[in-house]
Structure 1
């Protein structure tokens, strides 16, 4: 019985390998035994660029390691004598445990000055090599995760510039796809209103054209049906069986979904075809990506809410004074660069608003203010601006690339007067609403923000002085009076 201590075997093995390494960096190895031990040795040694496997030998042609050897292009044999006779390499590894073969190999070692490693030492070699391989894989995994975190950090740093969601989705999709080693993938975001999927990225084998997917009702139906099974409790979902999307544009299967949530709304999904089963590293990567992306989308939501709070009036939904002041200076600067452009500014003040509040209460007063805001917005163009300036006072900004005629301003003002007067409150039908309007227009040569506000305020004062429901326009250095609607 061999009573050699494993530690001593390890020392002998280390000395043997060291002696060979002094002569050459490459080792030529002959393996005896193609059972499970030989299979393990073959798997490990075949991954080393410094090891050349001469042959693997076993008495049985059905030995487990022979199939792998054939795949790797390693010579296999059942004739140990012939292989020994032709071997002029460095190391013989014996994992058979056969005593008679051991004696034969010891004799060969003495005659040809090769190193002989026993079954026990071979196991130690395998354990050492396997441990090193695991360490290398751990380092590779950590490097891969750090690389993914770098990508995610870069996206986070870009949040200050408020990138569109589809940009974040497509960028993240490409990074995650490479880190989970997916065969193919599809990145989709969903329209806020229609819920229709929009393709923002396709990678891998037979990657389809995104526009063709969006126009395919069959694809949309399959995608929406699959996404209806997603839950916020799951960082990712493994589909069994896979989702099969098949049409003229695409014929792919996807077995992993990474949902993208904005609060409780599913705003997008990343679909991947990953060879199952998922490894521990792939699961960790998907979880990391899910946490980061959903935090990113949540942060964007908060930014959007803060921006809306900063520029919108909470009661009426139109812009607030802060936004108006910003836009006024921008439009003045733009108009000054133009030859024929004009900029119109107008103050609109609700008549007798205090009386409405005192008589019917502030809730009714709020309804009236909302009606005024809606009426004004319905009478101006999409690129014009309406803002609540404060209390019961609103302001409008009407830029024009051409000289705006007084008759045009009068039509706009009269439409607002008529729209405001058309107010019917069920609980208080007797309430009659009207506003006073003061408008002023300046050309690019004379445009000045403070002057516009001052003249518009003066025009409003003239309108209020003339009675309820009046419009006054300041143009050509004089006021133009429009009859009261009373």
Structure 2
């Protein structure tokens, strides 16, 4: 909405024009009114001609007025007002109308002419175009012209005086009343314009607020469904990705990251991240706590808001991001990670945004905690409580999967090692079950040390252990068995430990190996073949490795 403006900028005495479009509309109305006046003049001189009327001169005057009225339609009104020249059009219109009507009055009988009333229209438009002083100036000009017409058309002073005394005051009354009424109308128009602008501004604000409310409602709706998903699914990465998406939709972050503190507590490992900065700290997979503003969140356990990172001291250099908000992820008052939103441009954060991030961070903590509990439960279900190795159930499941994979990929053999502690019952009888458990723990540790990461080590039951070695042909399985046997017989306990524990009993193992598919065609056969090889090792004197 455009404001009312003064077209008289930098010009002394230029009239005070209203709103940019208002005088243009009035000029168009004046143009149409002029056509009506010309039509009225033609009708009156044709229907009721007066004595001494100069018809030829009147029509000539009407033709000139018509030509002007046509030409004025091609004036670029908008450009005239933008150039500050609109007042000239107003002056030209008033001057033309005064001359035109005065000519009509003069040619139709002077003081006897009824067209004197047309002066009222000129005065009314002058009141609209100008301020009251200018309007009265126009009225004075009209009065002087009318007096001149009276002098030119009347022979006696006694005839003119009553007409002047009767009609000229009416012109000034019309001028005063029109100026007052126009002033009030303009004031009301300005008030209406201001109220309209306020209303439009309010509507625009309401639209923005409504959009924000809709976005926040959508985010809260997604947050509600996220809570349901956290309770129904155990996939941590899937949950965190949903949390990231909801957060980015609500906070419009350029990059959103969930980072978890590593085991040593010196780095943040980026768990889930969406958005991208080509450089800077958040572009890394691992973030050193001492080098990042996120480190202060880990250390203090309190949220961090930086509206202009370039003015943030030691963290200001080398950062592509400009604003940052970070919330600690806590479990039982221990900070386990950081939830952060970064922005390329500086910005301020309102309370609703901070509250939302804290709320959704609590959902992230819940998801992480649930996943950790699930992982702990899963480990309890598949691991042996004493040795920490996989249990019999997991061994069977993994062996079945590895045989299927071996069939599918046809790699160089799948070997299975059965390991049994020699004379373990006698050891327990001599030293007690507590030291027997210690031996089982140490053997479990030794097996983990001397096997590959791809191998699966499990406690089969009692004093028996198994090793699943994918991609290991028969001859290599024998070498692996020897390496395990030597490590257990020579390095399970140091001499100092044996002396301290009072152990003199030799601790050795017997190992039997079999390989799929050379020795067996399925899971049951492979277990049976490895077990048979183990019994051969025992029958041969124990403390040895035997292949099937």
Task: Tell me the TM-score normalized by structure 1.
Answer: 0.63
What is the aligned length? 379
SS of the residue corresponding to residue 150 of structure 1 reads helix
Alpha-carbon separation, structure 1, partners of 2:178 and 2:213: 45
* Farther off after superposition, 437-446 or 168-177: 168-177
Aligned to 2:515: 441
Aligned partner (choices 485, 507, 512) of residue 417 of structure 1:
485
Q: Contact 2:512 / 2:530 at 8 angstroms: preserved in 1?
A: yes
Matches within 5 A, 1:67-466: 79=16, 86=23, 107-108=181-182, 137=209, 140-147=212-219, 149-150=221-222, 153=225, 157=229, 160=233, 162-164=235-237, 172-173=243-244, 175-182=246-253, 184-185=254-255, 187=257, 189-190=259-260, 192-193=262-263, 195-198=266-269, 201=273, 203=275, 207-209=277-279, 213-214=283-284, 221-223=291-293, 225-231=295-301, 234=302, 236-239=303-306, 242=309, 243=312, 245-248=315-318, 250-261=319-330, 264-273=334-343, 277-337=348-408, 341-400=412-471, 403-405=473-475, 408-421=476-489, 422-424=491-493, 425=497, 426-443=500-517, 446-466=520-540
What is the CA distance between 1:329 and its match in structure 2? 0.8
What is the CA distance between 1:299 and its match in structure 2? 1.6
Alpha-carbon separation, structure 1, partners of 2:285 and 2:208: 46
Q: Contact 1:213 / 1:220 at 8 angstroms: preserved in 2?
A: no
SS of the residue corresponding to residue 259 of structure 1 reads strand
Deviations 1:384-424 (A, max 9, x none): 111011222111112226x432xx33322222222112332
Q: Contact 1:202 / 1:208 at 8 angstroms: preserved in 2?
A: no
Deviations 1:240-277 (A, max 9, x none): 885464455x3434342123346634234314358665
What is the CA distance between 1:337 and its match in structure 2? 3.3
Q: Tell me: CA distance 1:347–1:240, structure 2 relative to 1, closer, same or farther (3 Å).
A: same
Q: Which has the higher strand share?
A: 1
Aligned to 2:3: 55
What is the CA distance between 1:326 and its match in structure 2? 0.8
Q: Tell me: CA distance 1:359–1:254, structure 2 relative to 1, closer, same or farther (3 Å).
A: farther
CA RMSD of aligned residues (A): 4.6
Q: Tell me: CA distance 1:270–1:338, structure 2 relative to 1, closer, same or farther (3 Å).
A: closer
Deviations 1:211-238 (A, max 9, x none): 895399999613354334441xx5x433
Q: Contact 1:440 / 1:452 at 8 angstroms: preserved in 2?
A: yes
Deviations 1:168-217 (A, max 9, x none): 656644542342244x546262462453345564748xx33478953999
Aligned to 2:115: none
Q: Contact 1:191 / 1:198 at 8 angstroms: preserved in 2?
A: yes
What is the CA distance between 1:321 and its match in structure 2? 1.1
Q: Tell me: CA distance 1:459–1:55, structure 2 relative to 1, closer, same or farther (3 Å).
A: same
Alpha-carbon separation, structure 1, partners of 2:247 and 2:255: 10
Task: Tell me the TM-score normalized by structure 2.
Answer: 0.56
Aligned to 1:16: none
What is the CA distance between 1:443 and its match in structure 2? 1.8
Alpha-carbon separation, structure 1, partners of 2:291 and 2:456: 40
What is the CA distance between 1:448 and its match in structure 2? 0.8
Where does structure 1 lack aligned partners over 5 or more consecutive residues? 1-52, 62-77, 90-102, 475-486
Q: Contact 1:261 / 1:267 at 8 angstroms: preserved in 2?
A: yes
Deviations 1:368-398 (A, max 9, x none): 1111112223332221111011222111112
Q: Contact 1:346 / 1:397 at 8 angstroms: preserved in 2?
A: yes
SS of the residue corresponding to residue 319 of structure 1 reads coil
SS of the residue corresponding to residue 293 of structure 2 reads helix
